[in-house]
Amino acid sequence: MNLIERFLKYVAFDTQSSEEGSGCPSTAEQMFFAEYLKSELESIGLEEVTLDDNGYLFATLPSNVDSQVPVIGFIAHMDTSPDYSGKDVKPRIVNNYDGTDIVLSEEDNIITSPHQFPELLDHIGEDLIVTDGHTLLGADDKAGIAEIVQAMIYLKQHPEIKHGKIRVGFNPDEEIGMGAHLFDVENFGCEWAYTMDGSEVGELEFENFNAAGAKVTVKGLNVHPGYAKGKMVNSMYIASEFISSMPKTETPEQTEGYEGFYHLVGIKGSVEETVLSYIIRDHDRQRFEQRKSFVHELTDRFNAQYGEGTVTADIHDQYYNMREKVEPMMHVIDIARAAMESVGIECKVKAIRGGTDGAQLSFKGLPCPNIFAGGLNFHGRNEFVPIQSMEKAMMTIVKIAELTALR
């Protein structure tokens, strides 16, 4: 199989993760895919191929040099987002894209238009892999997996390219924030690694959000509505007031760059109880702490108004900005930048408005910046990936391996 055949094979696997899952991986389908990948890694000649009971798959491409070279790793996640169906993905290739609307489903009038997705225009003349409009594609992060596997094959086929020991890691449950939790960094055995989980060509990311999840619970009192005067307390009304009291301009749809936000991601309510689910994000650690404090202060204000215990806020940190762990090892970034430039890519260092497994891995002792995998419009039916972007990502991996051996 070549790179694209491999990718198209991978997206046929339904590997959505689930926040409702009780184990790791959160869905059985991810383990099924992991077992397939294990057999594939063995068949292409990688060594030390292991798959643990939690769905973490590791393998080794041995060094082909005698000198001491740092052991590095490349990591991608096997799951796709639970936000949109990943079952029965039917990809197709739009050859030599001409800059017009792409009809995904003529029957259901589903299109991907450059008017809504102007990034399409950056890929005129390229070959785009798209969906049929009824599922996501799964380039996040099966493009990354395919690129890593194909890069290992390329290095085996070109022994003239000198490299040290390379570790490959594929993990479950990144999309639900659990991908790095059971990742055995010590067993992985690398000085540093790269997640192949970015988007547009040239992206190199070593800054991400500090992240927390907040569960705000509002208590009410249900009484028969015919006799409710002066007695009923409708938690949904109080919850709506709480929502309205949050900063209205500090939401994802109104922020960009280094601006943080509060994002209401779920509401489940009745008269008796309403639960609001928020995520809290900010690149700056101090502002991140201030955001969490604001939610607690707002909770106290509502309890003073409606009675103690009416509103409770359970806030838990999810991950932190990896910059503080990567910055002392900037040669890791320098190598990736040089690798991109050597294969004709303009490197674009940017901050992630999100998080990756690399953020958590960096705090577990494995500095792990993020590199582009090429896909765009993740988590929905308009997702696409240019074939040329995947090829450049694959060659970036190869070049990183080579440049690391030359240090």
Name, in order, each residue with C-beta under 8 angstroms of 42's C-beta and a sequence gap of 6 or more.
Answer: 49
Amino acid at residue number 68: Q
Same domain, 20 and 148: yes
Do 18 and 127 share a domain, yes or no?
yes
Q: Which residues are catalytic?
A: 79, 174
Give me the amino acid identity at 304.
A
Beta strands in 199-336 (DSSP E): 203-207, 210-219, 261-269, 273-282, 311-319
Tokens 């070593």, located at residue: 206
What pLDDT digit, counting tens, does each position of 135-170 carry? 999 999 999 999 999 999 999 999 999 999 999 999
246 and 297 within one domain? yes
Same domain, 58 and 190: yes
Tell me, yes or no, whether 145 and 215 share the same domain: no
101 by DSSP, 3-state: which? coil
**348 and 369 fall within a common domain:** yes
Instruction: Give the domain-ending residue among 319, 336, 359.
Output: 319
Q: How distant is the alpha carbon of residue 262 from its chain centre?
A: 19
User: For position 277, what pLDDT does the model report?
Assistant: 96
pLDDT at 394: 98
Residue span of the structural domain in which 339 resides: 3-208+321-406
Beta bridge partners of 292: none
Are 42 and 168 contained in the same domain?
yes
Q: How many CA within 13 A on the CB side of residue 163?
A: 25
Listed residues 319, 338, 362: the one ending a domain: 319
The CATH number assigned to the domain holding 352 equals 3.40.630.10
> DSSP state, 110?
E
In the prediction, which pLDDT does 362 show? 95
Q: Which helix (H) or strand (E) holds 103?
A: strand 102-105
Question: Could you tell me if 197 and 219 lie in one domain?
Answer: no
Statement to judge: residues 363 and 309 lie in one domain = no
The domain boundary residue, chosen from 270, 300, 319: 319
| CATH number of the domain to which 314 belongs | 3.30.70.360
Helix (H), strand (E), coil (C) string for 330-368: CHHHHHHHHHHHHCCCCCEEEECCCCCHHHHHHHCCCCC
pLDDT (tens, 9 = 90+) of the chain, 407 residues, equals 899 999 999 999 999 999 888 899 999 999 999 999 999 999 999 999 999 999 999 999 999 998 899 999 999 999 999 989 999 999 999 999 999 999 999 999 999 999 999 999 999 999 999 999 999 999 999 999 999 999 999 999 999 999 999 999 999 999 988 899 999 999 999 999 999 999 999 999 999 999 999 999 999 999 999 999 999 999 999 999 999 999 999 999 999 999 999 999 999 999 999 999 999 999 999 999 999 999 999 999 999 999 999 999 999 998 899 998 999 999 999 999 999 999 999 999 988 888 788 999 999 999 999 999 999 999 999 999 999 999 999 999 999 999 999 97
User: Which residues fall within 8 angstroms of residue 231, CB to CB, at 6 or more apart?
Assistant: 221, 223
Q: State residue 49 phi and psi, 5-degree precision.
A: -80, 120
Regarding whether 315 and 360 lie in a shared domain, the answer is no
The tally of domains found in the chain comes to 2
Q: Are residues 200 and 243 in the same domain?
A: no
Q: Give the count of alpha carbons within 13 A of 162, CB side only.
A: 11
Question: Quick one: CA dihedral 258, 363, 214, 352, positive or negative?
Answer: positive
Q: State the amino acid at position 283 in one-letter form.
A: H
Structure-token pair, residue 100:
């017009």
φ, ψ of residue 279 to 5 degrees: the values are -115, 145
Q: Are 269 and 390 found together in one domain?
A: no
